[in-house]
Structure 1
Amino acid sequence: MSRTSAPPPPTGKSENKVDSALTHGLKQRHLSMIALGGVIGAGLFVGSGAGIAAAGPSIVVAYAISGLLVMLVMRMLGEMSAANPASGSFSVHAERAIGPWAGFTAGWAFWFLLCVAVGLEGIGAAKIMVGWFPDSPEWAWVALFMVVFCATNLAAVKNFGEFEFWFAALKVAAITLFLVIGILAILGVLPGSDADAPGMTNLTGDGGFLPNGVDGLIVGLLASVFAYGGLETVTIAAAESEHPVKGVASAVRTAMWRVAIFYVGSMAVVVTLLPWDDPNVVKAGPYVATLDHLGIPNAGEIMNVVVLIALLSAMNANIYGASRMATSLVARGQGPKAIGTISGGVPRVAVLLSSVFGFGCVLLSYWSPDTIFMWLLNMIGAIILVVWFFIAVSQLILRRRTEREAPEKLVVKMWLYPGLTWVALAGMAGVFVLMLRQEDTQKQLLATGILTLVLAAVGYARQRTRPADAAERA
């Protein structure tokens, strides 16, 4: 029988096999801090400025709405991942619930997203380094970061865990300190500051709470939705932890307060202390602008260090997540066999491939910034929403199946099932509609749609050539 016609092993057996081959080197402290710090990305420190400029003080509402959607998605994903921990996470769940084509589409779309993100984060980190060392070439810094984190992920999963533990600890410390300083300033009791408490001036003055109307709120909402991307990595990492079920359950149960404090809380502090139309909010970033406004010395350089840490943390996590997703897909017969080779408990070929692809995106940003690179950026624009859609549909199906076949596996349960799952799906549909209304996000939606349809068509075609496998899953 030819290689293309040979059916791959069933999802459950193949995924268990690859997960057992991976080294379970992540300790509970690693997973806890990855879950805690994973929500704090460079998008929060820098990208939120554009959202504030568009929505004004109502950015707090935008982050609260998108945060509720994220919490529902994470609860659904947590339910499935606690019942069936797997390094392929939602891709495995989609395959079990919907079919191999769905696992193929969700998995490779997410791999593509993470690899492009690795390149973008490398570029962002390099720009900060060039600011400190003006005579150094940007590409050399990207290459250095790629080599460091590729080597980290090639060595052992515990190295990834240690890097993320300390990166996350520094990010959490930075955002916590910012919140403390901000609250003291709002109360008018910040030591060393002569500034009076701002009261409601910045929230209700200068155009009001909705200075740019509902359209501004929509732009802020779209910006906030994509700032949450990356939370899914903790469910991928859980499969290589000492106690996968416990780790996933703990991470999901604390998601609500993490999102509320770090995102919604910090946005509330920024727009209370600063006028929303302060040009420095976009130019320097909302956190730097706020600290400068309060007279904190060297605020810009301090936040540059924090943003650099956030970018490097994201690079490390995305190389890890991409390599595990690719390995899981290959184990289920959804990709070239050579990519899934595991050596010493580490999928080294997948790590190398993901790193090389990411660096290739960086090179394209220099060689073809306005064509190919822009297409790459547009194609990842709405992939996170596609992934969330697969998560919600999978949870609708697998919850019923699990209740019938193995109810004891429901360690984490989705709230008010199935009602809130349908609410989440309606929310995702609403975001897609809002993207269609905005000119700058229409192209992203179109490019992401094309990529998703191509992957779905390839996945379905592969599924049709494996009737034996389909029968085995039935």
Structure 2
Amino acid sequence: MRGEKNGGLRRQLSSRQIGMISLGGAIGTGLFLGSSLAITKAGPAVVLVYLAAALVAVALAYALAEMVVVHPHAGGFGAVTNRYLGPFAGYLQRWSYWAAQVVTVGGEVVAAGLYVRFWWPQVPLWAAVSFFAVVVVVVNLAAVKLFGEVEYWFSAVKVFALVMFVVLGAAYVAVGLPGRDAVGLSAWTDHGGFAPNGLSGLWLAVTIATLSYGGVEAVAMTAAESRQPDRDIPRATRRVVLRLVLFYVLATGIIVAIVPWTRASEGGGITKSPFVLLFEVAGIPAAAGIMNLVVLTAALSAANTTLYLASRTVHSLALDGLAPGRLAATSSHGSPVGAVLVSTIGLAVAALAAALSPGDVFPLMLGIGLFSGMITWLLVFAGHWAFRRRRTAEGLDPAPFRLPGAPVTTALAAAFVVSVLITTAFTAEFGAAWKVGSVFTALLCLCWPLVRARRRAWQLAEANR
């Protein structure tokens, strides 16, 4: 990377904005609507499933924070991987991550378009998708400070809805609501027991839950634009980890306590979302409409953050000579305009696919990004192991913020990710994603000799300047 610089990015993000950006990536439609899929597999034991997956997400977040506090530069964890595992690993990880984010941002704007049709079914899906795509792009082209503020309030809506859900749900379980007696935890063991589908069901649910935490790595990508990364990144990491664990574990625990898991697992739409059921029981009018607004905001928040992550990833690739140099350029207010625009390819594909095949586009676009996301996590843990090993060998002081128990925890978390990645190949929900992702990874490997040759030419040109 060019001398440890920020590549033209501005340090304008505050600690509160960084924390919300990470939540924006990790709390999306996967929790509000996708939790029903995990409940289908695990039943009431979904509580333990999300807790187990949370431990891996915590390890990932802490490993990332440890590395980027030492190296708070453009590219986040991708730049660290490039430094400690070599250019090929840095190239593979960042292009994989970019592809995953580009696909995901398209899927999220499609979701937003579908939510609008809940109120106005006559609106063409392609029109709603195009509108939201333009909004997300404009926000990302603005100064990062404005982006951070928009994302803060997008995420705040989700957090408020989750807090309301947890408070109302806990009250209903423990003491009851007006006109409703307390339900207790009997539903956790009714309808077939705590784990009605056995160990196989639990493991399939673990795979789904692990994928739900995708986005927690966003905090590492903000290091180059944080005002005080040595303070802000650890603080944001602790807050995000705590909130994620509480929201996912408590929310799913409350769902299966209030609604029989056989009913909560039906899912499939706003009116069937397990979150809507609680608000209806609590006597909140227009519960489905309120939740539709929440999940619309969640989708826009996720799309906003995901485009940010994609653009910063390809910007760092350009800084390292692994992407066209034009993508390293930034505007007068520090936005990597070229990187943002090239990352909108997922939005363009989403708008086109929404016009041609509105019924199939959303699950397909979200699905094919999962494989690349898990490859990214695996390389993060490999990079962290190399990071720790080199610092120990060189007698350097420990990082100011550390992953407890490493390198043992690093190795265990990496093994967990590998097992999840393999399992996805044999599931109906993610089998197609695994096939597409493995082909894409193979193509990246085949392109590496050409990219390496171009990078060497770029390095010679830089040295002769």
Q: Give TM-score scaled by structure 1 length.
A: 0.90
Tell me the residue number matched to 1:332: 320
Tell me the residue number matched to 1:302: 290
Q: Which of 382, 402, 423 is the equivalent residue of 2:391?
A: 402
Distance 1:372 1:435 in 2: 20
**Correspondence 1:254-269 to 2 at 5 A:** 254-269=239-254
Distance 1:442 1:398 in 2: 33
Conserved? CA contact 1:280–1:289, under 8 Å: no
Tell me the residue number matched to 1:4: none
User: Would the alpha carbon gap of residues 89 and 464 (structure 1) be closer, same or farther in structure 2, given more than 3 Å must change?
Assistant: same
The question of 1:277 aligning with 2:262 is answered yes
Distance 2:359 2:453 in 1: 38
The question of 1:288 aligning with 2:276 is answered yes
Partner AA of 1:360 in structure 2: V
**Correspondence 1:196-275 to 2 at 5 A:** 196-275=181-260
Distance 2:74 2:353 in 1: 30
Report the Cα offset of residue 367 of structure 1: 3.1
**Correspondence 1:413-424 to 2 at 5 A:** 413-424=402-413
Report the Cα offset of residue 404 of structure 1: 4.3
Identity of aligned residues (%): 34
Tell me the residue number matched to 1:83: 70
Report the Cα offset of residue 386 of structure 1: 0.5
Report the Cα offset of residue 408 of structure 1: 4.1
The question of 1:148 aligning with 2:138 is answered no
Distance 1:127 1:439 in 2: 24
Conserved? CA contact 1:222–1:431, under 8 Å: yes
Tell me the residue number matched to 1:7: none
After the TM superposition, which of the residue ranges 132-141 and 266-275 deviates more from structure 2?
132-141
Q: Deviations over 1:15-74 (max 9, x none)?
A: x33x15112221233123334554321211111111112221011111111111111111
CA RMSD of aligned residues (A): 2.4
Q: Mark the runs of 5 or more structure 1 residues left unpaired by the alignment.
A: 1-10
Q: Give TM-score scaled by structure 2 length.
A: 0.91
Distance 1:77 1:361 in 2: 31
Partner AA of 2:194 in structure 1: F
Q: Which of 341, 344, 368 is the equivalent residue of 2:329?
A: 341
* Secondary structure, counterpart of 2:335 in structure 1: coil
Tell me the residue number matched to 2:108: 121
Distance 2:335 2:455 in 1: 29
Partner AA of 1:173 in structure 2: F
User: Would the alpha carbon gap of residues 409 and 84 (structure 1) be closer, same or farther in structure 2, given more than 3 Å must change?
Assistant: farther
Distance 1:458 1:249 in 2: 36
Q: Which of 373, 383, 390 is the equivalent residue of 1:384?
A: 373
Tell me the residue number matched to 1:63: 50
Conserved? CA contact 2:185–2:257, under 8 Å: yes
The question of 1:188 aligning with 2:175 is answered yes
Tell me the residue number matched to 1:5: none
Conserved? CA contact 1:101–1:460, under 8 Å: no
The question of 1:462 aligning with 2:451 is answered yes
* Secondary structure, counterpart of 1:198 in structure 2: coil
The question of 1:73 aligning with 2:60 is answered yes
Q: Mark the runs of 5 or more structure 2 residues left unpaired by the alignment.
A: none
Tell me the residue number matched to 1:446: 435
Distance 1:296 1:280 in 2: 22
